[in-house]
Structure 1
Amino acid sequence: MIETPRLILRRFTLADAPAMRTYRNTPAIARYQAWRSPLTHEDAEHQVLLYAKQEPAEAGWFQYAVEHKGTGHLAGDLGVRLDDDLLQAEIGFTLAPAFQRQGYGTEMVLSILDHLFAQGMRRVYAECDIRNTRSAALLERTGFRHEGTRTRPTININTGERTDMTLYELSHHQRTA
């Protein structure tokens, strides 16, 4: 568990499924994501049960539930994929519409960066749909630098749109400089 002044990053529970389903089914959010939408109630429950079994210190994905301290509501989620060498990680994030544009995204990303670099991570990277300018701005605000654009088209699973992906990275050295 990771705590910030306003958020708790924790393991998912079954009780998180309805809220996750609601924000992940929001078309403006699902448009830029790799999960299939819309999620049914059963799909959401299955997904959070899978997330609950993941291990944050092992190679592979761990999905944090992002809880708002003041209300206890699920504000979003943040995924971390540790590379096999446990020295690099990829992150991805989603915020429910009610929690956007209030600094929560910056707070959760900075907290996971602090956590990962304190554990000895050497590099953290992220990618986003090139049209997702708000996520790109969040990455830049938290210290990531634009590394390039993957120009071979990616097909969005929900919309069928072809899009390029923009790549970002932040090294331990850059973070501490």
Structure 2
Amino acid sequence: MKIETNDLIIRNYELKDENDLCEYMLQRVNAEFEGYPDFTCEKAKEEIEYRMQSDEFYAIELKNDRKVIGNIYLGKRDFNTRELGYVLNENYQHRGYGSDASKAMIEYMFNQGVHRIYAECAPQNTPSWKLMEKIGMKREAYFRKNVSFHKDKNGNPIYWDTYVYAILNPDEEI
């Protein structure tokens, strides 16, 4: 799979993406929202191999220098629905790449017959929910204390509230 926008190529992962994946995933180790505390560069090759086989993870590559700056996730869910997620290298955030990649993938998925795409984020993660609104997603729910990505000093989960945003395939709307 390969999708091109003005600035980006969204495609399946390749082995050559290992260093770029390591760079942006290391930024997520201690991230406030959805951290990856166990990620190391030693695990990057295994993660690349997993993503190469996946039809849910896609690399976001800059056209001008062929650098992978993040990923788009479209997890399969019941009822012909996908869950959207995105991670961008901190050095490339706030330039429109996240919304550009998300819009392109949503259009691609709708053209493949997907009915609905949703995403969740913490209410405090303003850049994430603003991106969702920018690409046409509508806030549908506010879930209280429904996810946990971190533990407290005693090893107990720290729960977060989440907003739920979604968009429906426009070809199916009445």
Aligned equivalents of 2:74 and 2:44: distance in 1?
19
- Higher alpha-carbon deviation: 41-50 or 159-168: 159-168
Match of 2:160 in 1: 163
Q: Residue by residue, what CA displacement relative to the aligned partner does 1:42-69 show, whole Å, maximum 9, x if unpaired?
A: 2111111101011x3xxxxx10011000
Over residues 106-165 of structure 1, what are the superposed CA-to-partner deviations in whole Å (9 max), with x where a residue is unaligned? 110110111011111111101112221101100000000111111134222477643111
| Structure 2 residue ranges without an equivalent (≥5) | none
Separation of aligned partners in 2, 1:153 and 1:118: 32
Q: What TM-score does the superposition give when structure 1 sets the normalisation length?
A: 0.85
**In 2: Cα distance, 1:20 partner to 1:158 partner:** 25
Q: Is the 8 A contact 2:115 2:172 kept in 1?
A: no
Q: Is the 8 A contact 1:36 1:158 kept in 2?
A: no
98 and 107 in structure 1: CA distance in 2 versus 1, 3 angstrom threshold: same
Could you tell me whether the CA contact under 8 Å between 2:29 and 2:38 is conserved in 1? no
Q: Are 1:65 and 1:74, in contact at CA under 8 Å, matched by a contact in 2?
A: yes
SS of alignment partner, residue 6 of structure 2:
coil
TM-score in terms of structure 2 length: 0.86
Alignment of 1:69-148 (within 5 A): 69-85=63-79, 87-148=80-141
Deviates more, 1:155-164 or 1:130-139: 155-164
Gaps of 5+ in 1: 57-61
Of all paired residues, the percent bearing the same amino acid is 25
Closer/same/farther in 2, CA of residues 176 and 100 from structure 1, 3 Å limit: farther
Greater share of residues in helix = 1
RMSD over aligned Cα atoms:
2.4
4+ residue segments displaced more than 3 Å: 157-161, 173-177
Count of paired positions: 169
Verify the 8 A CA contact 2:149 2:158 in the aligned structure 1: yes
